[in-house]
Amino acid sequence: MNHGVQLITYVDRFGRSDLRGLQALLRQRLPGVFAGVHLLPFFHSIHGADAGFDPIDHLQVDATLGGWDDVRALAADVPLMADVIVNHMSSASPQFQDFLARGEASAYAGLFLSLASVFPQGATEADLLALYRPRPGLPFTAVTAGGQKRLMWTTFTAQQMDIDVATPAGQAYLDEILRTFADAGISMIRLDAVGYAVKKAGTSSFMLPETFDFIAAFAARGRALGLEVLVEVHSHFAKQVEIAQKVDWVYDFALPPLVLHALCFGRADRLAHWLDIRPHNAITVLDTHDGIGIIDIGGSGAGAQRLPGLVPDDELDRLVDWMHDNCAGQSREATGAAASNVDLYQVNCTFYDALGADPRRYLLARALQFFTPGVPQVYYVGLLAGRNDMDLLRQTRVGRDINRHHYTPEEVDAALAQPVVQAQLALIALRNRHPAFAGTCVHRLLDGQRLQLRWTQGAHHATLTADLAQGRLHLDASDAGLDLQALLPWLG
């Protein structure tokens, strides 16, 4: 993987276009800016229950966006990442519709997971209460298949039917996705919702030892086709460190809330501690198509078995309230049980609004991301310093839509002209092109409120000094021939 800054975007929400339009936008408005692009689900259909994360046909490009030849053309310009949605598919898929019509006589009967698949002798109350799910209630939906009533496993919504990844049918389904992606020139895959993929009686059915076995086997099949693998799991930070030792890449989901914590409390001790222990085979983010994770820095469990988090519980509560206050309570309308949320452990808000739309602190946060070891990704809304889309939220009543604005071409042009966005583009150029970032990084606390990250390679160096109390960004770098004029108003 190229270690430069990557873009995360929906095809149709970044200029209301298709694959060819996105390719033109990147060529004409953002030439050479990104070292890779993560295309969020572009499969048939992108208009389901979960913005494409519930594919009807994972092997077909949504007709409104183009076809596989358009994917190949974009991949010829820039390395592409795409999602393999390993845990589920849409209830409207031909496979599930055939199962509903024919039941056990269906060729796809072994593709879907039911309560009886995992608990053939039935489940006790204790069995059911032990299951981990990212939303209230039990992960089952009643259907009638072939005239027989069944309880199907639905981790997320009633429209997302869980796949039995242990059966030949499940494995064949996923392997065909890998082959299709490799043929289209995609070079990296993200395993979406993989923490829930393996279910086992008597467990939480989340991130089990068998899950790691599944990830390792699936990743090996991907690598054989030339695909690198990124694992997406929100969980206690110790689990992330463990996962990183067994996979190609993990997300550093602890970084965004820890950067916010540092700016909220004006001190860098919690963030510095994470920099001491975090895995370096990490994709760093501030924002994504999901919310800002809280579980990733919080404690886990209860009573004597509780594992402490990266920040104390009372500080985590204050941080969440601070984010809500910074956006005048807009995120409260989109978070928790307020708006049909899949994930109750995330705050739904644009990162810019979570910082009170303060451009200086926003650029400091982005600089901290870029100077943290790993591969940085920038979400399209974050690239454009996007604000909360309350109209879309009220239209769909889906909490995460607050941070999934549909930008028109005119809105993209206006956003790119903003000084804060121009400064962010200068930071991206620094991260991509300065030779120091091909070297090594050390960090240190200068005092309680100032954190320094310094990259060096030979005679080259790039140093960030972050004053968290003042929200100020200080940069010192050897000459690399970069034009950083757009950054000057925000430095010091």
CATH code for the domain defined by 6-87+168-438: 3.20.20.80
43 or 240, which is more confident: 43
Q: Is 289 known as a binding-site position? A: yes
* pLDDT of res. 342: 43
**What pLDDT score does 36 carry?**
98
pLDDT at res. 1: 66
**Where residue 337 falls among pLDDT bands split at 50, 70, 90?**
low
Q: Is 313 annotated as a binding residue?
A: no
pLDDT-derived band at 60 (thresholds 50, 70, 90) equals: very high
Q: How does residue 341 score in pLDDT terms, banded at 50, 70 and 90?
A: very low
Residue 346 annotated as binding site: yes
pLDDT at 438: 96
Check: CB of residue 83 under 8 Å from CB of residue 189.
yes
Query: Which residues, other chains included, contact 459 with Cβ-Cβ below 8 Å and sequence gap of 6+?
Result: 478
Is 344 annotated for ligand binding? Answer: yes
Q: Model confidence at 365, in pLDDT bands (50, 70, 90)?
A: very high
Structure confidence at residue 73 as a pLDDT band (50, 70, 90)? very high
pLDDT of res. 161: 97
Residue 108 is assigned to a ligand binding site = no
| Mean pLDDT estimate for the chain | 94
User: Are the C-beta atoms of 23 and 65 separated by less than 8 Å?
Assistant: no
* CA pair distance 93, 56, nearest whole angstrom: 4
pLDDT computed for residue 246 by the predictor: 81
Inter-residue contact 270 to 311 (CB < 8 Å) = yes
Q: What is the model's pLDDT at position 339?
A: 45
Measure Cα distances from 268 to 262, 387, 441, 448 in Å.
5, 26, 17, 6
pLDDT band at 71 (very low <50, low <70, confident <90, very high): very high
pTM of the predicted model as reported, rounded to 2 decimal places: 0.95
CA nearest to 35, candidates 77, 65, 91: 77
pLDDT at 338: 54
The CA-atom distances, in angstroms, between 70 and each of 16, 82, 374, 432 are 16, 14, 29, 26
What per-residue string of b and e applies to 90-124 under the rule 16 or more CB within 10 Å gives b?
bbbbebbebbbeeeeebebbbbbbbbebbbeeebe
pLDDT confidence of residue 340: 44
User: Which of 12, 232, 252, 333 does the annotation list as catalytic?
Assistant: 232
Residue 331 pLDDT more than 70?
Answer: yes
Mean pLDDT of 13-28: 96
Q: What is the mean pLDDT of residues 303-327?
A: 91
User: How does DSSP classify residue 176?
Assistant: H
Average pLDDT of span 301-325 = 89
Confidence tier at 89 by pLDDT (50, 70, 90): very high
Annotated binding residue 191 = yes
Respond yes or no: is residue 125 known to be catalytic. Answer: no
Task: Return the domain boundaries, the chain.
Answer: 6-87+168-438, 94-162
- What pLDDT was estimated at residue 482? 83
Quote the DSSP letter at residue 434. Answer: -
**Mean pLDDT across 481-491:** 86
Residue 318 known to bind ligand = no
Q: For residue range 32-56, list pLDDT tens digits in order.
A: 999 999 999 999 999 988 889 999 9
Residue with tokens 């608990």, as numbered in its chain: 119
102 is in an annotated binding site: no
Average pLDDT (240-250) is: 88
Q: What is the average per-residue pLDDT within 154-160?
A: 94
What does the alpha-carbon distance between residue 62 and residue 52 come to, in Å, rounded to a whole number? 9
Choose, from 12, 18, 54, 192, the residue flagged as catalytic: 192
pLDDT of 233 strictly over 90 = no
Does 232 participate in catalysis according to the annotation? yes
Q: Domain 94-162 has what CATH class? A: alpha beta
